[in-house]
């Protein structure tokens, strides 16, 4: 049983880490943009299929996996289930597994789909632990580098999507305005620009607001940040 639990943890740790990262990023993006063009529709369908990952993991926790408690490993269900039901995990798991994203499908309002996937963000409760397990075989310096870039990128996505949401709201207000006056923020903000803006400020670069005029330059700056940050984190 102990070997089975270790094998399942080794398998599910990277799967849950990637699932949480992709799901939270997609929910933020969909909530900010509010439209489902064909490529995004395909991503949403894929996420529906990937929801089997946390569901199967919770079922394994309840039915088969051992559980550590006060330095002891519990194996029997009579020992595991009472501890699990009294832990915060049960609330996190139930709320995270609720299929709230079927609501916009039933209502026929796909533009709100992202808001109904935010319950999946509760899986961030396990994110640090699963990320550490996923990076277990690596050297300590490499662990720090990879962990820093993952957390940094996750926070950058939140900021980037917030900028997209603000730009979208301003654009909608400009359209509704009787004067129809253009707004530089809503006109100039793109997906690449919002991500670069978020990553630049999170890296501590608050001065110098010269904005590159092409997506490939923005992409080059983003790659530079992603390469440089783990180097500093590993030192």
Give yes or no: residues 12 and 100 share one domain: yes
Domain containing 164 equals 138-234
pLDDT number for residue 184: 44
Same-domain check for residues 160 and 174: yes
DSSP, res 213: S
Any idea what the CATH number is for the domain that residue 219 is in? 1.10.287
Pairing of strands 67-69, 72-74: antiparallel
pLDDT of residue 9: 83
What is the per-residue pLDDT for 20?
92
Predicted confidence (pLDDT) per residue in 96-112, tens digit: 999 888 887 787 776 67
For residue 180, the model assigns a pLDDT of: 46
Per-residue pLDDT of the chain (235 residues; tens, 9 = 90+): 567 777 888 889 999 999 999 888 888 888 877 765 556 666 777 777 888 999 999 998 888 888 877 777 777 888 888 888 889 999 999 999 998 888 877 877 766 777 888 899 999 999 998 999 888 888 888 888 888 888 888 888 888 888 777 777 766 565 555 444 444 445 556 677 777 777 777 776 655 566 677 777 777 877 777 777 767 655 6
In terms of DSSP H, where are the helices of 72-139?
Answer: 77-85, 88-97, 102-107, 127-134
pLDDT of residue 183: 46
The closest alpha carbon to 197, from 184, 171, 32, 205, belongs to 205
- The reported pTM is 0.79
Answer with the one of 76, 108, 137 that is the final residue of a domain: 137
CB 115 within 8 A of CB 32: no
Burial readout 163-178 (b: 16 or more C-beta within 10 A, e: otherwise): bbbebbebbeebeeee
52 and 27, same structural domain? yes
Number of domains in the chain: 2
* Same domain (yes/no): 19, 133: yes
């Amino acid at each position: 049983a102990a070997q089975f639990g270790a094998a399942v943890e080794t398998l599910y740790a990277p799967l849950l880490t990637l699932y949480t990262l992709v799901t939270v990023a997609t929910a933020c993006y969909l909530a900010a943009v509010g439209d489902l063009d064909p490529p995004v529709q395909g991503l949403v369908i894929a996420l529906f299929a990937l929801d089997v990952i946390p569901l199967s993991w919770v079922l394994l926790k309840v039915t088969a996996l051992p559980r550590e408690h006060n330095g002891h490993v519990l194996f029997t269900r009579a020992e595991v289930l009472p501890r699990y039901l009294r832990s915060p995990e049960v609330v996190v798991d139930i709320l995270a597994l609720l299929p709230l994203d079927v609501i916009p499908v039933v209502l026929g309002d796909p533009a709100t789909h992202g808001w109904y996937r935010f319950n999946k963000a509760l899986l961030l409760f396990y994110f640090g632990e699963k990320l550490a397990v996923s990076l277990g075989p690596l050297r300590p310096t490499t662990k720090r580098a990879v962990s820093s870039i993952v957390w940094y990128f996750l926070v950058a996505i939140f900021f980037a999507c917030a900028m997209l949401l603000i730009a979208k709201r301003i654009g909608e207000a400009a359209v509704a305005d009787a004067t129809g006056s253009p707004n530089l923020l809503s006109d100039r903000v793109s997906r690449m620009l919002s991500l670069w803006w978020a990553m630049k400020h999170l890296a501590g670069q608050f001065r110098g607001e010269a904005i590159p005029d092409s997506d490939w330059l923005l992409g080059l700056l983003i790659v530079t940040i992603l390469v440089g940050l783990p180097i500093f984190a590993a030192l």
